[in-house]
Structure 1
Amino acid sequence: MILLTGFEPFGGESTNPSWQAARRAAELLTEQGREAVAVEVPCVFGRSVDVLGAALERLRPEIVLCVGQAGGRGSISVERVAINVDDARIPDNAGRRPIDEPVVAGGPAAYFSTLPIKACREAVARLDIPVEVSQTAGTYVCNHIFYGLMDLLAARQGVRGGFVHVPYSAEQGEAHGQPGLPVEAMAAALVAIATTAAGTTTDARITAGAEH
């Protein structure tokens, strides 16, 4: 079972391509004969992890791929690390704006993705879709659910998970004068990441670092 999550719209947007792409990717995976479910999560600190946790209990997946929007980025970003801090530049959809608060009080400073992030990057690159390994998931609700996911999975044997940021959709990018990708391309990238993760236990030993 592969679980994908995407966020509801936030920040004044009427759509969120992370949810559109996650939902479409689940459809494509199902068409391939794989068991996959997409769940929409609220763009709210705390509640997003509660919804995710309930989905984990209900669905018992082996692979979990949480997806969020990173408007302004030009590539699919396979995230490497989640950090234990909420520091919101803008309020979430419930009006909360935590500053320098831990995601999990007393939790470790960070968790690494347990997906084969470099192999996933290579799989997406073979589709001629722009992709990168990202070294930061920010400090907003995307990082919050990423950290929350990895904290939940720390107690679950045999379940692997991670986080992927997608750019604006093509329509949003045009409206904002920013990079964008068609939702269908995002979905294809998520399918490649999910299937690579399902079939790969040892990551590719190739460089995917950054100087800044």
Structure 2
Amino acid sequence: MANKKKVVVTGFEPFGDHAVNASWVAVQELQRLGLGEDVDLHVCEVPVEYKAVENMLPSLWKELQPQLVVHVGVSGIATTVTLEQCGHNRGYKRLDNCSFCPTSQCCMENGPDCIKSVLDMDVVCKHVNDSDLGVALSVSEDAGRYLCDYTYYTSLYLGHRRCAFIHVPPLGKPYSSQDLGRALKAVILEMLDVLTQNCTEEKEHKHEEQCHHKHQQQQRC
């Protein structure tokens, strides 16, 4: 199908107390489920390393040119599947898996302090929570100032905000890998619907502006 939407979904490798990273397990479950025939799904595992993220994300966006990138990470304190609305540029003091952190403690030297996704996470959250998914969703504006936040901000910057970040709880607290995979599928399909709707509204708005401009020109003639 020529008009397939290309979506990239990433999870993280193990780190710290997370000998098994629920995010990558959930992404692999999503890959098994798929996103339907209309979506070309690509998945990859991201190292918990600042420099690896810096090197990996630009090529991901440039080579694949996806309509949407969704990064998934694990949060030890989360009890819901959490949709992150924004990424932050500064405050990165924690060492990564290579015992490194940026000297500047920021993602982009001249970047804005915060970048919001083009997706309204409250809308996505409400629609999915209103379904019979059986997995609770919530929205957050603080992705934690570690590799999750760092990856999200960098991807929002590179992808002109066509990006999302989802935090999942550790496996079994309370959801299984199958639950998390189903949740990711429902959320990402909803995100694609919202993006399509946003695109349609933008086109209609531009068309209205053009029509108004032509009408003004006719009035001047």
Normalising by structure 2, we get a TM-score of 0.79
Deviation for aligned residue 1:80: 0.9
Structure 1 gap segments, 5+ residues each: 171-178, 204-212
Question: 1:103–1:147: 8 Å Cα contact kept in structure 2?
Answer: yes
Going from structure 1 to structure 2, the CA distance change for 1:49 and 1:130 (only over 3 Å counts) comes to: farther
CA-to-aligned-CA distance 1:30-54 (integer Å, 9 cap, x gap): 5555210111110011312422222
Which residue identity does 2:41 align to in structure 1? A
Asked if 1:161 is matched to 2:167, the reply is no
- Say if 1:87 and 1:98, in contact at 8 Å, map to a contact too: yes
Look up the match of 2:194: 200
- Identity among equivalent positions (%) equals 26
Greater share of residues in helix: 2
Query: In terms of mean alpha carbon deviation, does 70-79 or 16-25 score higher?
Result: 16-25
Aligned length: 190
Structure 1 match to 2:136 = 130
Per-residue Cα deviation, 1:42-77 (whole angstroms, up to 9, x for no partner) = 001131242222222222210110010101210001
4+ residue stretches of structure 1 with deviation over 3 A? Answer: 30-33, 97-100
Is 2:154 the counterpart of 1:152? no
State the alpha-carbon separation in 2 of the partners of residues 18 and 169 from structure 1: 9
Moved more, 98-107 or 139-148: 98-107
Measured in 1, the distance between the counterparts of 2:190 and 2:153 equals 22
Q: Distance in 1 between matches of 2:43 and 2:29?
A: 8
Specify the alignment match of 2:10 in structure 1. 5
Is the CA contact (8 Å cut-off) linking 1:6 and 1:66 kept in structure 2?
Answer: yes
Question: Aligned-pair RMSD on alpha carbons?
Answer: 2.0
TM-score (norm 1): 0.82
Tell me if the contact between 1:4 and 1:36 (Cα under 8 Å) persists in the aligned partners. yes
Q: Say which SS state the counterpart of residue 26 (structure 2) adopts.
A: helix
Q: Give SS of 2:107's match.
A: coil
Work out whether residues 49 and 149 of structure 1, in 8 Å CA contact, stay in contact via their aligned partners in 2. Answer: no
Contact 1:119 1:196 in 2 (8 A): no
Q: Distance in 2 between matches of 1:54 and 1:135?
A: 27
Whose Rg is larger? 2
Query: Which residue of 16, 25, 30 maps to 1:25?
Result: 30
How far residue 122 of structure 1 moved from its aligned partner, in angstroms, is 2.4
Q: Distance in 1 between matches of 2:181 and 2:42?
A: 13
Preserved contact between residue 7 and residue 18 of structure 1 (Cα < 8 Å): yes
